[in-house]
Amino acid sequence: MILGLVALGAPLGDSCLSRGMTSMPPISLAHPLSLVSAIFTPWIGAGIVLLIGFFASYLTALSWADLTYVLPATAFGNVIVALFARFWLHESISWQRWAGIVLITVGVGFVTQGPSLTERPVESAEPDEAVEGRVR
Amino acid sequence: MTGVHPGAWAAAAMIAAVVLTSTAGEVLTAAAMKSVGDLDEIRAKSGLKGAIRGVVTCPLFFMGVFFLSLSFFSLLFALNHLSLSLAAPASASLTLITNAIAGKIFLRENVDRRRWISAGLVCVGVYFLAH
């Protein structure tokens, strides 16, 4: 579920930011405060909330899984965006993109079949405490 | 380099900057979260405040965020000089490979054949998807 939130949060958050920023008038570097007011628009606010959710889920996933397990799984978000574009926005998808979707899906399916965390030997100095920690 | 049409070496340097800073950020963040411990367990024991305290009191986490910020600005700089269809897929794909190498070396993760194949498949898939 956490990996699902990671995969969904980033692309949806980026999409909201993109939608919000393109609907705003051009922002000049001479008026940087107009960027602050952009934060309070609905699309950009929603994008920021989604990206905060993404980062919290990403950190949670990294606390119990290897980086080399989490990163390929998060790439599945690209597939979700492409399918979203195809079936909701009715955009056409080239054969290269379908090939990309298949490769990412196979790659993510492949890595998630394996262990999520590298097994490390338990320190022998405090065996009782280690066992107690696991039971708790 | 004219700034409008950067040469191949300049383009490679820009993409390398994105990939290296992103990899450093990801590895440092992952190391920070491993040192903090399982956030689900911490939250169950000490609540959300305890989990947040655990993260924000870890110096490695801020080093990771610093490099991730550098990566973000490097990407913005690269996008200012290179086309999106080159910079985005190239950096996203290469980062998967460099993270697998860095995870094995610095985090001592067990990057077995399954993970190498998966990283390779996703890397090629991201490249195709962005074209």
Q: The whole model's pTM is what?
A: 0.75
| B120/A20: higher pLDDT | B120
Residue A91 DSSP one-character state: -
Q: Over the stretch A1-24, which tens digit does the pLDDT of each residue have?
A: 777 888 888 878 877 877 777 777
Interchain CB distance below 8 Å, A114 and B112: yes
Q: Assign B16 a pLDDT band (cuts: 50, 70, 90).
A: very high
A–B CB contacts, 8 A cutoff, strictly below = 120
Residues 105-134 of A with CB under 8 A from B: 105-108, 110-111, 113-115, 118-119
Q: What pLDDT does B131 receive?
A: 67
Residues in chain A closer than 8 A to B27 (CB atoms): 67
Q: Assign A127 a pLDDT band (cuts: 50, 70, 90).
A: very low
Shortest CB distance from A72 goes to which of B55, B96, B104?
B96
The residue written with tokens 């699309």 in the block is A43
Shortest CB distance from A78 goes to which of B40, B55, B129?
B129
Q: Is the pLDDT of residue B86 over 90?
A: no
Kindly report the nearest CA distance between residue B126 and chain A, in angstroms: 6
Query: Is A6's Cβ below 8 Å from some Cβ in B?
Result: no
Closest CA to A134 of A124, A122, A116, A125: A122
Average pLDDT taken over every residue of chain B: 84
Query: Is B112's Cβ below 8 Å from some Cβ in A?
Result: yes
In DSSP notation, B76-100 reads HHHHHHS-HHHHHHHHHHHHHHHHH
Rounded to the nearest 10 degrees, the angle between the axes of helix B8-36 and helix A42-64 is 60
Alpha-carbon distances, residue A22 vs A19, A32, B52, B64 (angstroms): 5, 17, 34, 30
Q: Over the stretch B95-116, which tens digit does the pLDDT of each residue have?
A: 888 888 888 889 888 888 888 8
Kindly report the nearest CA distance between residue B118 and chain A, in angstroms: 4
Query: Is A69's Cβ below 8 Å from some Cβ in B?
Result: yes
Query: Is B49's Cβ below 8 Å from some Cβ in A?
Result: no
Residues 6+ apart with CB under 8 A from A35: A27
Query: Is B96's Cβ below 8 Å from some Cβ in A?
Result: yes
Closest CA to B125 of B81, B92, B87, B84: B92
Q: What pLDDT does B5 receive?
A: 63
Q: Assign B23 a pLDDT band (cuts: 50, 70, 90).
A: very high
